[in-house]
Amino acid sequence: MKTKLLIAIGLCFALIHSKLRADDPVSITQCKDTLFFSPFPDCQVFLIGNDLSALSMYSKMDSIKSLFLDDLSKAREQHLYPEGSRLTHYFVHPNGKRRLKAETADYLEKEIDPEAEKRSLSLELLPFAYFIYDLEKDITCEIYLNDPTLLLQLEAVSFTDAIRSLNTDKKSMRKFYRIDLEKNGTEWQHKQEIGQHLDFLEMTPSFGFGIIGGAWSPVMGAHLSLTFNDKYGFPEYKTGASLSGHLFADYSNKRFSNFYSVMDFEINFMVNLSKSKSAKAKWFGLQGGLLKSKYGGSLEGAYKVGVISEGFSVLNYSFDLIRDKNKNYLYGITLRLPF
């Protein structure tokens, strides 16, 4: 029995190890939230941060905007700023140092960024861009203008008022990753909310093999799961139930006899351990269940608890501790190939 257990455990870890080695290195992908508003015609403002809830509490944007306009004005007076520049970067470091960088009018692109071009076309971005970076709070303000002379009008615009309007609907900040504002009189209101929060229900069959107390069996089952996604469409949690059938038999003198089946009812809850939105979901969690068998002896009415994993290899697997009706404890291992 110990040999069978070691073989099964070794097979599980071999499959997991080979799968992880075959995958590309997974880098942590951090999604960003965006607040968009247009304070006057021919002006677009995007405030980009890690989370809209944190962005709603941000209060430094107007002061940093004033520093940017002052430094830009001084650079122009000293002829340090290239006139006609279409892209300007302004960095504000936590130690107080500031740096202004701009591309010259005759700047030649070394290479084309397809993603940036697609974003520019889809958002219909205006030609003159000014990027302001608050490195301490990890917040970026992107300003797009149709004419550089419109920068002077930004002095009278309160970015803080636009940011504070997020607090009027806290539920939207949890459900959406982008909120567009429009001016109604003197107040900013939500015009459009964009997100990919969509939970989905899925039913899948599976086939595999399992061990209960040292006895091997083929396993067939059906699984119903409900996956909960975040506002970026990234799967976070999954819960579900499954019904599986095990077929056991006695084996002696090179013959099988005394066939009997065991039905396995399970419920589970899993979290996605993958840190990359582009990578396949890797689920790990807990499960519990009840075993029913008319001819299974001590397995009739037995219950179990264990761990379950999906997405780490070709096979899904679970390890269980089973308590039979005689109050004895058995181990259970199941490997399933989902369809």
Q: What pLDDT was estimated at residue 116? A: 83
Residue 5 has pLDDT above 70, yes or no: no
pTM beyond 0.85: the answer is no
Structural domain spans, the chain: 2-27+197-338, 33-176
Residue 11 has pLDDT above 90, yes or no: no
Q: What pLDDT was estimated at residue 296? A: 61
Residue 110: pLDDT band (50, 70, 90) is: low
Tell which residue, 254, 270, 246, has the closest CA to residue 336. 246
Q: What pLDDT was estimated at residue 133? A: 97
Q: Give the mean pLDDT of the chain.
A: 85
Whose structure tokens read 């899925």? 202
Percent of the chain with pLDDT over 90: 56
Cα(218)–Cα(197) distance, rounded to whole angstroms? 38
Cα(169)–Cα(313) distance, rounded to whole angstroms? 42
- Please work out, in degrees rounded to the nearest 5, the angle formed at the alpha carbon of residue 221 by the alpha carbons of 220 and 227: 145
Count CB neighbours of 47 within 10 A. Answer: 24
Q: What pLDDT was estimated at residue 70? A: 96
Cα(153)–Cα(155) distance, rounded to whole angstroms? 5
Percent of the chain with pLDDT over 70: 88
Q: How many residues belong to the chain?
A: 339
Burial 269-299 (b: 16+ CB within 10 A, else e): ebebebebeebebbbebebebebebeebebb
pLDDT in tens, 41-77: 999 999 999 989 999 999 999 999 999 999 999 999 9
Cα(123)–Cα(125) distance, rounded to whole angstroms? 5
Q: What pLDDT was estimated at residue 284? A: 96
Residue 15: pLDDT band (50, 70, 90) is: very low
Q: What pLDDT was estimated at residue 66? A: 95
Q: What pLDDT was estimated at residue 24? A: 38
Q: What pLDDT was estimated at residue 278? A: 67
Contact criterion met (CB below 8 Å) for 132 and 68: yes
Q: What pLDDT was estimated at residue 194? A: 87
Cα(62)–Cα(52) distance, rounded to whole angstroms? 18
Residue 28: pLDDT band (50, 70, 90) is: very low
Q: Work out whether the CA dihedral 10, 16, 22, 24 comes out positive or negative.
A: negative
Q: Which amino acid is at 163?
A: I
In 3-state terms, what secondary structure has residue 271?
Answer: strand
When pLDDT is averaged across residues 214-223 and rounded to a whole number, the result is: 91
Q: What pLDDT was estimated at residue 18? A: 39
Encoded tokens for 178 = 């982008």
- Please work out, in degrees rounded to the nearest 5, the angle formed at the alpha carbon of residue 47 by the alpha carbons of 116 and 79: 75
Contact criterion met (CB below 8 Å) for 143 and 43: yes
Question: Phi/psi class of residue 323: alpha, beta or left (left: φ > 0; alpha: ψ in -120 to 50)?
Answer: beta
> With 0-12 CB in 10 A as exposed, 13-18 as middle and 19+ as buried, what is 212?
buried
When pLDDT is averaged across residues 175-195 and rounded to a whole number, the result is: 90
Name all contacts of 38-43 with Cβ < 8 Å and 24+ positions apart. Answer: 38/182, 39/153, 39/154, 39/157, 39/162, 39/183, 40/150, 40/153, 40/157, 42/126, 42/145, 42/146, 42/147, 42/150, 43/126, 43/143, 43/144, 43/145, 43/146, 43/150, 43/153, 43/154
pLDDT in tens, 299-309: 888 999 999 99
Q: Work out whether the CA dihedral 12, 13, 16, 22 comes out positive or negative.
A: negative
Residue 106: pLDDT band (50, 70, 90) is: low
Which is higher by pLDDT, 255 or 59? 59
In 3-state terms, what secondary structure has residue 163?
Answer: helix
Tell which residue, 72, 188, 179, 177, has the closest CA to residue 130. 72
Contact criterion met (CB below 8 Å) for 217 and 248: yes
Given 2.40.160, 3.40.50, 1.10.10, 2.40.128, which CATH number is that of 2-27+197-338? Answer: 2.40.160
